[in-house]
């Protein structure tokens, strides 16, 4: 192109150039159409009807220099003509400004919007460039921007709120973003109703809900409760920043300019036909969602949760904690007890789904039967034995052992597996009495068969009490009572001064009772009587021995005295 221009210049004389300029009216102020044929660092080189060139400085262009390309047609006005070089300096912006100013004025008269760009921030507002060439002012109160907001880089639509021509200088033009925004907001709110489906983009997610950008001016809120019918579903599980979504309008506050949206209402409410899908009395499988002090919640399906109250967990007065029965995430069977569709609540029963173990209790635990169980609680008054889940019985203190029990913990401990005999059953009140001792053979039966009052037995003092001592009788594993009065032929004030636990001793049975029908079994023994019997026997033997000796000149009393003296000497 430059070569063409060079050849043209060489072939044209100065007269021909002026003649050509006259032909094309190349005068200052004339408006011409030009073709871009070269982009220079500081402007454009253009051709006028392909014959003469001109230069449009960058400052006189309507658009940034980089937006032009070779071959573009633009309208310019001639600023000056360099007759020696045959080149003109032209301006695009001055032609465009006249047309643009007319456009701005018409937009103002017709109450239409116009495009522009904020170019600078000033003390009371912002300078705006309309259509790239017309300067206007945007008051801060009409900008909708906060003091620390950055100036938008993109082109915006403005409303012209003042247009006044001046005889001198440029016209005064005032624009507003706020009024245009108010119009757009009003128009949007007028266009929607509750129940409408609208689209938007998720722009932020909070614990209480998700904000959705509906337009550049309007944001709606999806409350956390409106994300899913399943209350356990979190917002983050459903929505992500930048998601394009469709939602249902469920609330409009035109005064506060708030729009409430719902995702879950795009789907059928699972509570609509709840009674048909989960009739009262039916058993269903569910998942434990949470455990609370008063029970636990079970999800029957997405959006449907019911409460198993603690009263519907256990059969009877069970001391277990809920966490010992179920854990979050467990699959459980539950029975529907009641449904309140208005309140959206379901009452469930865990125990009834399992069945009442006391319904056929007699067939499994008839009186007299010996069964195994686990010691779950040791009390001062007895022992609680669990035979199976929700079936427990009580062993009274008197039924713990055939012997005297000072501390139950010495006989059984929590966690022990033991055999017990069922001694009574009250199905109506869900009570069962058990016996630890009767699950074993009664040792007193053998005692009654083999021993009688007056017999001698050996045993060990196991402990002392205020009124006497307890003796464990050898070979029979029963305990006998040694009264303090039977410890010695001398008066005993404090039994611990006379005997100590662990002492091995022979005793005489002075009382023996075996009445199983009255549940009466006891033995009373005596050291004192035993020693008297020994002393008497020894005396009788001594007398017998003396009476056989040939000492007729002595009396029986003298013989006995002589015998005793001999024994003392020998000792």
For residue 520, the model assigns a pLDDT of 87
Q: 234-268: b or e for each residue (b if 16 or more CB lie within 10 Å)?
A: ebeebbeeeeebebbbbebeeeeeebbbbbbeeee
For residue 316, the model assigns a pLDDT of 72
* Signed CA dihedral, 503, 505, 508, 513: sign only: positive
Cα–Cα distance for residue pair 560/494, rounded to 1 Å = 36
pTM: 0.49
Cα–Cα distance for residue pair 83/21, rounded to 1 Å = 9
Please give the residue that has the higher pLDDT: either 268 or 334.
Answer: 334
Cα–Cα distance for residue pair 347/329, rounded to 1 Å = 19
Residues across the chain: 571
Cα–Cα distance for residue pair 158/257, rounded to 1 Å = 21
**Does the pLDDT value for residue 182 go beyond 50?**
yes
For residue 552, what are the CA distances in angstroms to 307, 544, 563, 564, 566? 106, 14, 15, 18, 18
pLDDT band at 465 (very low <50, low <70, confident <90, very high): confident
Partnered with residue 383 across adjacent β-strands are 378, 395
Structure tokens at 8: 């043209």
**Does the pLDDT value for residue 19 go beyond 70?**
no
Express as a percent the part of the chain with pLDDT over 90. Answer: 55
3-state secondary structure (DSSP) of residue 25: coil
- For 117-141, write each residue's pLDDT tens digit: 999 999 899 999 998 888 999 999 9
Q: What is the DSSP string of 270-317?
A: TTTTHHHHS-TT-EEEEEEEEEETTEEEEEEETTEEEEEEGGGT-SSS
Kindly give the residue spans of alpha helices, DSSP state H, lying in 387-459.
443-450
Q: Which residue is listed with tokens 């790239």?
A: 132
With vertex at residue 95, the alpha carbon angle to CA 86 and CA 75, rounded to the nearest 5 degrees, is 60
**Average pLDDT for residues 542-555, to the nearest whole number?**
65
For residue 168, the model assigns a pLDDT of 73
Tell me, what DSSP letter sits at residue 393?
A: E
For residue 351, what are the CA distances in angstroms to 312, 337, 386, 527? 6, 11, 17, 60
For residue 24, the model assigns a pLDDT of 45
For residue 478, the model assigns a pLDDT of 92
Structure tokens at 317: 């007065």
pLDDT band at 275 (very low <50, low <70, confident <90, very high): very high
User: Which range has the top average pLDDT, 396-410, 440-454, 529-543?
Assistant: 440-454
What SS3 string covers 333-390?
EEEEEEEECCCCEEEEEHHHHHCCCCCCHHHHCCCCCEEEEEEEEEECCEEEEEEECC
**Average pLDDT for residues 181-202, to the nearest whole number?**
92
3-state secondary structure (DSSP) of residue 222: strand
For residue 237, the model assigns a pLDDT of 87
Name residues whose C-beta falls within 8 Å of residue 258's C-beta, 6 or more positions apart in sequence: 220, 221, 251, 252
**Does the pLDDT value for residue 2 go beyond 60?**
no
Burial-class residue 555 by CB neighbours within 10 Å (0-12, 13-18, 19+): exposed
- For 223-249, write each residue's pLDDT tens digit: 998 998 887 788 988 999 999 999 999
**Choice among 21-25, 460-464, 468-472 with the minimum mean pLDDT:** 21-25
Cα–Cα distance for residue pair 60/44, rounded to 1 Å = 10
- Asked if residues 62 and 92 have their Cβ atoms less than 8 Å apart, the reply is yes
Q: Which helix (H) or strand (E) holds 192?
A: none
Domains of the chain: 2-91 (2.40.50.140), 96-183 (2.40.50.140), 192-266 (2.40.50.140), 274-354 (2.40.50.140), 361-439 (2.40.50.140), 442-571 (2.40.50.140)
Q: What is the DSSP string of 46-91?
A: EEETTTEEEEEEGGG-SS-GGG--TT-EEEEEEEEEETTTTEEEEE
For residue 517, what are the CA distances in angstroms to 107, 394, 443, 452? 117, 21, 15, 19
For residue 549, the model assigns a pLDDT of 58
Please give the residue that has the higher pLDDT: either 416 or 25.
Answer: 416
- The torsion angles phi and psi of 542, rounded to 5 degrees, stand at -65, -40
Partnered with residue 258 across adjacent β-strands are 253
pLDDT band at 550 (very low <50, low <70, confident <90, very high): low
For residue 524, what are the CA distances in angstroms to 399, 402, 447, 470, 514? 21, 15, 13, 10, 12
Structure tokens at 479: 């305990």
- For 475-485, write each residue's pLDDT tens digit: 998 999 999 99
pLDDT band at 20 (very low <50, low <70, confident <90, very high): very low
Structure tokens at 82: 């360099």
For residue 541, the model assigns a pLDDT of 83
Residue in 299, 165, 170 with CA at minimum distance from that of residue 232? 299
């Amino acid at each position: 192109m430059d070569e063409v221009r060079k050849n043209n210049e060489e072939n044209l004389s100065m007269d021909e150039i002026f003649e050509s300029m006259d032909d094309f009216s190349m005068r200052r102020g004339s408006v011409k159409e030009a073709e871009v044929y070269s982009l220079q660092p500081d402007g454009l080189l253009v051709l006028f009807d392909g014959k003469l060139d001109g230069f449009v400085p960058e400052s006189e262009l309507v658009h940034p220099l980089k937006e032009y390309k070779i071959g573009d047609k633009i309208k310019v006005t001639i600023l000056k003509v360099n007759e020696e070089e045959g080149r003109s300096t032209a301006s695009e912006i001055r032609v465009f400004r006249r047309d643009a100013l007319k456009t701005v004025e018409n937009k103002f008269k017709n109450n239409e919007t116009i495009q522009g760009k904020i170019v600078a921030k000033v003390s009371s507002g912002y300078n705006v460039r309309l259509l790239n060439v017309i300067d206007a002012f945007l008051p801060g109160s009409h900008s909708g921007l906060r003091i620390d907001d950055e100036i938008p880089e993109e082109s915006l639509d403005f409303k012209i709120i003042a247009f006044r021509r001046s005889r001198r200088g440029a016209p005064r033009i005032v624009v507003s973003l706020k009024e245009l925004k108010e119009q757009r907001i009003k128009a949007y709110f007028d266009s929607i109703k509750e129940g409408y489906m609208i689209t938007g983009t998720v722009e932020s997610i909070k614990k209480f809900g998700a904000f959705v950008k509906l337009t550049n001016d309007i944001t709606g809120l999806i409350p956390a409760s409106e994300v899913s019918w399943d209350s356990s579903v979190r917002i983050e599980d459903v929505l992500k920043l930048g998601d394009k979504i469709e939602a249902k309008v469920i609330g409009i506050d035109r005064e506060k300019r708030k729009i409430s949206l719902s995702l879950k209402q795009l789907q059928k409410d699972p509570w609509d036909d709840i009674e048909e899908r989960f009739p009262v009395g039916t058993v269903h499988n569910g998942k434990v969602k949470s455990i609370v002090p008063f029970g636990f919640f079970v999800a029957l399906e997405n959006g449907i949760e019911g409460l198993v109250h603690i009263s519907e967990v256990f059969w009877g007065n069970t001391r277990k904690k809920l966490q010992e029965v179920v854990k979050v995430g467990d699959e459980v069977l539950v029975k529907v007890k009641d449904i309140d569709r208005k309140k959206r609540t379901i009452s469930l029963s865990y125990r009834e789904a399992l069945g009442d173990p006391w319904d056929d209790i007699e067939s499994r635990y008839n009186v007299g039967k010996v069964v195994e169980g686990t010691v779950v609680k040791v009390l001062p008054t007895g022992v609680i034995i669990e035979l199976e889940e929700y079936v427990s019985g009580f062993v009274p203190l008197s039924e713990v052992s055939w012997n005297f029990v000072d501390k139950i913990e010495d006989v059984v401990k929590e966690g022990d597996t033991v055999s017990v005999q069922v001694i009574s059953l009250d199905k109506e009140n869900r009570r069962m009495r058990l016996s630890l001792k009767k699950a074993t053979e009664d040792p007193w039966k053998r005692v009654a068969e083999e021993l009688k009052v007056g017999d001698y037995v050996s045993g060990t003092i196991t402990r002392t009490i205020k009124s006497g001592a307890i003796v464990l009788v050898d070979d029979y594993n029963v305990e006998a009572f040694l009264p303090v009065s039977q410890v010695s032929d001398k008066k005993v004030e404090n039994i611990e001064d006379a005997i100590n636990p662990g002492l091995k001793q022979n005793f005489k049975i002075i009382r023996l009772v075996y009445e199983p029908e009255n549940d009466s079994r006891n033995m009373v023994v005596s050291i004192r009587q035993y020693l008297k019997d020994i002393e008497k026997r020894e005396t009788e033997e001594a007398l017998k021995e003396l009476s056989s000796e040939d000492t007729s000149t002595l009396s029986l009393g003298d013989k006995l005295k002589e015998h005793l003296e001999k024994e003392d000497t020998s000792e």
